[in-house]
A and B are shown apart, each in its own frame.
Chain A
Amino acid sequence: DTAVSQTPKYLVTQMGNDKSIKCEQNLGHDTMYWYKQDSKKFLKIMFSYNNKELIINETVPNRFSPKSPDKAHLNLHINSLELGDSAVYFCASSLTVPGNTIYFGEGSWLTVV
C-alpha cells in the first residue's frame, strides 16, 4: 500500500509539449503539496492545497497549473515545456497539525529534450 503515489515515475518529452503528473494519497490527509528538486538537489515548494483550496502558490511560471479534484488527489499540469523544467517533482501530503510529518511520493523524473 503506497501512501503517496505519483505517476509517471519517469517522463521524457520534447520542448513545447504539454504533460501532466498525477498524485494520489490514501492517508486521509487534508493538505497536499508539489515540490521541485533541481539538478543540485535543492528542494523548493511550488504549490499546496488544503481541502481542495490553493493555499501556497510560490513564484512559479503560469505554465504550471495544479488541479485538485478532491482531497486525495493533486495533479500537476505543465504547458509548453522548456528545457529548464527538467527536474524531479515530488508530491507530498500531511495533516495541518503542528509538528505533523509531511509524507512524500517517490518522485517523477521529468526530462525535457
Chain B
Amino acid sequence: GNSVTQMEGPVTLSEEAFLTINCTYTATGYPSLFWYVQYPGEGLQLLLKATKADDKGSNKGFEATYRKETTSFHLEKGSVQVSDSAVYFCAWRISGGDYKLSFGAGTTVTVRA
C-alpha cells in the first residue's frame, strides 16, 4: 500500500550543524509530498511541499526535493538553530479519492546551543 517511511529519531545536533531527515515514499501514482513541523506544545504547521517530480520546496532555510528516481523527499537545512527544535513529519497525499493526508512517524530534532 501507499506509505512514507521517515528516519527514526531522536536526532540531537549542535547549533549551526547540518540537518538531514530522510523520507521515502511508496505509492501507486505520484503523490504530493509535504513536510510539517510541530514545535513543542503547538499544533502542526506546513513547512514546505512539492507536488511533482523535481519540484523543490523551501521555507525558513529548509529544503526538500521530490525525487522520483529514488522515491524520496529528504528534508535538509544547512545551519540549524535552537529554535528549529521540533518534531518533523513527512506526509503524502494522493490526488483523487478522499484526498486524505497520511503521515510518517515523525522525527524529533533537538538542537543544543
Contact = CB atoms under 8 A, between A and B. Distances in A.
Interface string A34-52: 0000001111110010100
Interface residues of B, number: 26
Contact of A98 (B32, B34, B42, B103): B32
Looking at B34, B87, B93, the one whose CB has the most chain A CB atoms below 10 A away is B93
B25 interface: no
Nearest to A96: B99
Contacts of A113: none
A31 interface: yes
B61 interface: no
Contacts of A100: 99
A101 interface: yes
B38 to A, nearest CB: 8
Contact of B98 (A42, A55, A99, A103): A55
Contacts, number: 62
B99 A43 contact: no
Contacts of A41: 38, 87, 105-106, 108
Nearest to B105: A42
Q: How large is the interface on A (under 10, 10 to 19, 20 to 34, 35 or more residues)?
A: 20 to 34
Interface in B23-54: 32, 34, 36, 38, 42-46, 49, 51-52
Given A43-B106, A90-B43, A98-B95, 19 more contacts: A41-B108, A42-B103, A43-B44, A43-B89, A45-B100, A45-B101, A48-B100, A56-B98, A56-B100, A98-B51, A98-B96, A99-B49, A99-B51, A99-B95, A102-B46, A102-B93, A103-B46, A106-B43, A107-B42
Interface of A: 31, 33, 40-45, 48, 50, 55-56, 90, 92, 94, 96, 98-107
